[in-house]
Amino acid sequence: MTRRAILLGLFLAAFSFSQTPYISELQKRAEGGDAAAQAKLGEMYYDGQGVHQDDAEAAKWIRKSAVQGDAEAQYILGVMYNSGRGVRKDLTEALRWYRKAADQGHLDAEYTVGGMTEDNSEAVKWYRKAADQGFKDAYITLGDMYYDGLRGLPQDYSEAVRWWRKAADQGNDWAESALGAMYYDGKGVPQSYAEGGITRAFR
């Protein structure tokens, strides 16, 4: 079989797959203004899942959904602006969409806004919101911020221990090691070489 024939076969197979009833119906719903369908179609183009991968097409459908208020689409559009994928890279625009998603309680967006904003009080606010929803990375970040006195927070080893303990409770190895070091050095907790010498120092 010639290379041309192989490529033609692959093209026809991809075309046939893209015309499945599910995708046709999804396309119809998206074109009709269904925000959930627009978001799903955009994600499929973003990942090349069931359709040919197309960043520009992904951005088009994700944006339509985001404008209608879909939080996941707003977050993904922020990711696209942050990376320059399918759109011109624009960190200000990325943060704007991340904020929209965060305002709706989108967990990853809350954490991301905390990391991107230059406003210390806003950063702490969003990290705390993410932590309130049980986001492990937010626990670790808040612990780091209290440990070093970053983002306008006072240096407070006890608070660092409190936040790292939450992450350790979720099985985070780094947090468990950090707690061990705190026990070993007596920072924020009574010094205990025994506690500091074991991985799960708080148990």
Beta strands in 69-169 (DSSP E): none
For the chain, give every domain's residue range: 20-133, 136-203
pTM of this structure: 0.81
Which strand (E) or helix (H) includes residue 86? none
* DSSP secondary structure code for residue 82 in this structure: H
Calpha distance 166→150 (Å, rounded): 19
CATH topology of domain 20-133: 1.25.40
Query: Mean pLDDT across the stretch 30-55?
Result: 95
Q: Does position 93 have pLDDT exceeding 90, yes or no? A: yes
Q: Does position 199 have pLDDT exceeding 50, yes or no? A: no
Query: Mean pLDDT across the stretch 67-79?
Result: 98
In the chain, the percentage of residues whose pLDDT exceeds 70 is 85
Note the pLDDT of residue 203: 45
The answer to whether the beta carbons of residues 95 and 116 sit under 8 Å apart is: yes
Calpha distance 94→102 (Å, rounded): 12
192 band by pLDDT with thresholds 50, 70 and 90: confident
Note the pLDDT of residue 200: 46
Calpha distance 20→58 (Å, rounded): 19
Q: Does position 177 have pLDDT exceeding 70, yes or no? A: yes
Q: What is the per-residue pLDDT across 133-171, written as a single tens digit (0 to 9) for each?
A: 999 999 999 999 999 999 999 999 999 999 999 999 999
Q: Who wins on pLDDT, 18 or 181? A: 181
Q: What is the per-residue pLDDT across 106-139, written as a single tens digit (0 to 9) for each?
A: 999 999 999 999 999 999 999 999 999 999 999 9
Question: Could you confirm whether domain 136-203 is CATH 3.40.91.10?
Answer: no
Q: Do the domains 136-203 and 20-133 match in fold?
A: yes
Query: Mean pLDDT across the stretch 66-85?
Result: 98
Q: Does position 202 have pLDDT exceeding 70, yes or no? A: no
Calpha distance 22→25 (Å, rounded): 5
Calpha distance 192→196 (Å, rounded): 6
